[in-house]
Amino acid sequence: MPVISKSFDLEKVEWRKVTDPSCKEFCVDFEYSLLGYDLPSGRLDMLLRYGKGGHCRRHRHIASTVTLVLEGEQFLTELLPNGSTKNIHRKKGDYALATADAHPHDEHGGEDGGTIMLSMTAVDGLLFEYFDENMANGWTLSIQEFIDSWDKGVIHGNVAALSH
């Protein structure tokens, strides 16, 4: 089980910034840090940090996901199958456990940003499914793709759309 960082000290981990200026609906702007992973069990642990006004790209979790808010806040707007939405607000110290195959959602930090830890278990190796602004043209991201991008020290391809 490779460990990338033995600490989740937010001042010591390596952060990688993700932006997507092609998204016109909201400002895709966040940072992530890979903590560790175990390919045989399908597990990946990471940190995600939003600055003021930064969002993830619209996505859904295919993997079962534990979320722990370390600093600030996390806001989610889930897009439900009947066309309605559900708003979720988490504060520092809040814990959540989502089953695999979650609803698509938009996500961002609070007024002063936010930092979360994610621990994901993906039986088939797939972590996320991303969507364009029209909820079409979806694509997935696997643990292996995430690790390969991290190891190369670059953000490329679908990995550029990383989010929680």
The pLDDT value given to residue 154: 60
User: How many domains does the structure of the chain reveal?
Assistant: 1
Taking a C-beta distance cutoff of 8 angstroms, is the pair 89, 73 a contact? yes
9 part of a folded domain? no
Domain-embedded: residue 3: no
Lowest mean pLDDT among 45-49, 57-61, 83-87, 110-114: 57-61
Under the banding of pLDDT at 50, 70 and 90, the label for residue 19 is: confident
| 77-112 pLDDT per residue, tens | 898 989 899 999 999 999 999 988 888 888 889 988
Residue 27 lies in a domain: yes
Q: Which amino acid is at 23?
A: C
Predicted pLDDT at 84? 94
Domain interval for residue 106:
16-161
Query: Binning pLDDT at 50, 70 and 90, where does residue 164 land?
Result: very low
Strand 126-130 vs strand 139-142: parallel, antiparallel, or unpaired? Answer: antiparallel
Beta strands at 43-50 and 59-61: parallel, antiparallel or unpaired = unpaired
Q: Read off the pLDDT of each residue in 136-149 and give the average, rounded to a whole number.
A: 85
Residue 121 domain flag: yes
Give the CATH number, domain containing residue 115: 2.60.120.10
Report yes or no on 4 lying in a domain.
no
Measured CA to CA, the distance from residue 75 to residue 44 in angstroms comes to 22
User: Is residue 2 in a domain?
Assistant: no
Model pTM score: 0.85
Asked, for residue 88, whether it belongs to a domain, the answer is yes
Q: What is the DSSP letter of 160?
A: G
